[in-house]
Chain A
Amino acid sequence: MSPIDRRDFLKLGLAATATAAVGVGMSRIPLPMAAPAAAVRAGDTEPEVIRADDAAEQPRADHDQPSPHHWAMVIDQGKCVGCDLCLAACHAYNDTPPNISWSRVEEVEPTADGRRVFRPTPCMHCEDAPCVEVCPVGATYHRYDGLVMMDYDRCIGCRYCQLACPYGVRHFNWEAFTGPNPDVPAAGHPEVPRRPRGVVEKCSFCVQRIDRGLAAGLTPGRDPDATPACVVACVYGARTFGDLNDPESMVSIALRQRPDAYRLREELGTGPRVYYLPATPTEVSES
């Protein structure tokens, strides 16, 4: 063995420094696997704010396990008057910027006797969701109970899901939402943190409320604290929410009573979880 000459020593030193630098650099990259499980950060003043990645803490869909719940929303177009109270509640509880609405209320064809008809369109939480299929990084995914979720820590902002969504309910944060939320406190208080610039967001069926309610032993759809904010906010009772696996839930009853319920663009085979009851009921020949 010849002694190490200066040249080799310098090379070794350089290599070691480079490796250390890469190591330090890597350790600064946040590894999503190691995301803290804590619900509330120490500095947060409002303890009821749930972190965005809490939803990501919920297990992803496992196709061997049957889903324990089959959440669905039923919207009665005969009762909706297009007052946008649901949107105000959504803006407040989910702290969305004024230019992003997780659900939109649009006026559609009036009835035969001239009554105006509206159609609220939240995320359909499709059973076979095109957005889940196409997201290159799996940032949008099916939760264990089938709801379509966003992992804001994983989204790269490629906006492919926006092209894939047949309902146009996915919104990109073109700029950061700073400043006050005009719907707070009139319509409610934020329950989730704001999303950063550059990620896609969408209606979550207020999973934070569902999860918190279930943990407290409440029934989503029946107890307001466990029910999506838009459903609670609707003073006309146009929106109902619940578990289709439970035959006595509001949605199961509504769908049993109204066989004319329909879903949007059903021919695409996406299997939306949002059902609509037409403003003019078709003749029911059930009995």
Chain B
Amino acid sequence: MTKIATIKTFVRNTVLPALRQPVIRFMLGLGVLMAIGVGAALVVFAEGLHVTNLTDLVPWGLWISIDLSSIALAAGAFSISAIAYLLHRKELRPVATTAVYVGFVCYSIAMMMLLLDIGRPDRFWHGFVFWNIHSPLWEVTMCVGLYFTVLLMEVAPIIGHWEPVEHRFPRLSHRLGSLHALTPYLALIGLCLSTLHQSSLGLTYGNLIARPIWSRPIPMAVSFYLSAIVGGIALVTCISFLAPHLTPRARVNKVTLDKLAYTVGWAALFLLVVRWWDLMSMPVNYEPAKSEALYILTRGRLAFNFWGLEILLGMVVPAILLLVGSFRRNERARILALALVALGLVAYRWDTNLVGQLVVFGQAPGSDVPLFTNYTPSLIEILTATGVIAYGLLAVTFGVRYLNVIDHGEVVEAPAEAPVPAAMIPSSSR
């Protein structure tokens, strides 16, 4: 009886008040989604990939798209770190901490997706042992593995400063914290590794002569690299702007973030030019499979994604919202705009992955003339993907609440009119 009474008091005094907090409910919901995702993943591991809707003609589907998107969205980590530590923009260093944490979460999402997607997850390490230096995918594997190690070392001080670690293991906390001294070097290594694999992910598609729409190595590599940087910075800025609305623990320097947002505005316009150069400059006369794929993208099944999500919502609308001062100073407008840039990046990766596979040319009976094929993710693919994304959101929420990853020093409100001179921006510590 006493035990039950204790549990009752615990529930009444601790659990119920906690459940009244929206953020706890949010995290619980994410936890449930994650649990469902883990269950679905176990089914995939036990049953094999025939539970997916992937086929020999469309072997890369939803999971690879999420993997590509999350690696791209993690690009904020290396680019903001490089600006802060290699270009000595000290005011960006706290933002770099946020970026590194977001990047770490994104890369762990990518690796979970890859582990699910490969047919032999028990052999994930083969890429590190058996080298085929001609394969872009091998380069991506190596760089992702090495860069994840770099991110681990960059995230270690954040974990070291976590209260329970600091209190219970002060020496460990000190050790982890001392890794912070390496940050400039890690920023340099991260820049090199990320440049290599972010562009090689484009080349992964770009060097496939079998699929004419992809077969343009340089434009693919360049646009993957550039769009990743823009989308990554946009996501970090978006999360930083958003966090103080959700928890008082997040402290941001709105002047710095405002500058970043303004830059993202111009960068979105620049991406529009790159996308135009990349896709619209393709020949107008008929080329088998290429013309069909272009049709799918601009007028067919992917047209809404392309014109709506990528071009309009991903580039044009954010550029307007972020470049026109009165819009940008509206908190909601700029958060929305930055989120749209990230969404546009996801749409770009999704379209790129699918557009080459939906046209079959020479790969199936009767496909001497290009044929169209189909792909819709199966329920189990969607459940696992939702679970992994829920993990990402949960990890970021946890980071903001308990690891203080968004702590950009004193709260500085942006002035209503003129921007603050650079000299007045406080250089924050840590």
Contact = CB atoms under 8 A, between A and B. Distances in A.
A204 interface: no
Please tell me the size bucket of the interface on B: 35 or more
Given A134-B136, A166-B209, A197 B363 contact: no
B362 A156 contact: no
A235 interface: no
Contacts of A198: 48-49, 118-120
A106 B365 contact: yes
B412 interface: no
Contact of A167 (B120, B129, B211, B362): B362
Contact of B135 (A32, A135, A175): A135
B244 interface: no
Contacts of A137: 123, 126-127, 130, 132, 138
Contact of B120 (A130, A156, A162, A171): A156
A153 B131 CA distance: 15
B121 to A, nearest CB: 8
A200 B56 CA distance: 10
Contacts of A138: 130-132
Given A155-B120, A197-B119, A136 B210 contact: no
B141 interface: yes
A160 B54 CA distance: 13
A87 to B, nearest CB: 13
Given A157-B119, A197-B119, A108 B59 contact: no
B356 interface: yes
B292 to A, nearest CB: 16
Task: Kindly name the residue among A134, A162, A163, A269 whose own CB sees the greatest number of chain B CB atoms within 10 A.
Answer: A163
B50 interface: yes
Task: Kindly name the residue among A157, A165, A176, A269 whose own CB sees the greatest number of chain B CB atoms within 10 A.
Answer: A157
B130 A199 contact: no
B130 A168 contact: no
Contacts of B207: 133-134
Interface residues of A, number: 44
B120 A199 contact: yes
B56 A158 contact: no
Contacts, number: 127
Interface in A114-167: 130, 133-139, 154-160, 162-167
A158 B130 contact: no
A40 B362 CA distance: 39
A268 B126 contact: no
A166 B363 contact: yes
A104 interface: yes
A142 to B, nearest CB: 12
Contacts of A156: 118-120, 123-124, 126-127
A171 B127 CA distance: 21
A199 B48 contact: no
Contact of A168 (B126, B135, B363): B363
A198 B123 CA distance: 11
A269 B57 CA distance: 22
Nearest to A165: B210
Contacts of A261: none
B59 A162 contact: yes
Contacts of B127: 136-137, 156
B375 interface: no
B370 to A, nearest CB: 13
B430 interface: no
Contacts of A262: none
Given A162-B56, A174-B48, A136 B132 contact: yes
A163 B210 contact: yes
B119 A173 contact: yes
A136 B209 CA distance: 17
B56 A172 contact: yes
Contact of B119 (A136, A168, A172, A268): A172
B357 interface: yes
B3 interface: no
A273 interface: no
Contact of B118 (A106, A133, A154, A158): A158
28 contacts: A136-B132, A136-B135, A137-B132, A154-B130, A156-B118, A157-B120, A157-B123, A163-B60, A163-B208, A164-B208, A164-B210, A165-B210, A166-B209, A166-B210, A167-B362, A167-B363, A168-B56, A168-B57, A168-B364, A174-B49, A175-B48, A175-B50, A198-B48, A198-B118, A198-B120, A199-B119, A265-B362, A268-B209
* 10 cross-chain pairs, A with B, having the tightest CB-CB distances, nearest first: A157-B119, A168-B363, A198-B119, A106-B365, A159-B59, A166-B210, A136-B138, A174-B50, A138-B132, A136-B137
Given A107-B365, A198-B118, 19 more contacts: A130-B208, A133-B134, A134-B134, A135-B132, A136-B140, A155-B120, A156-B119, A156-B123, A156-B127, A157-B118, A163-B356, A164-B208, A166-B209, A174-B48, A174-B49, A174-B54, A197-B119, A198-B120, A199-B120
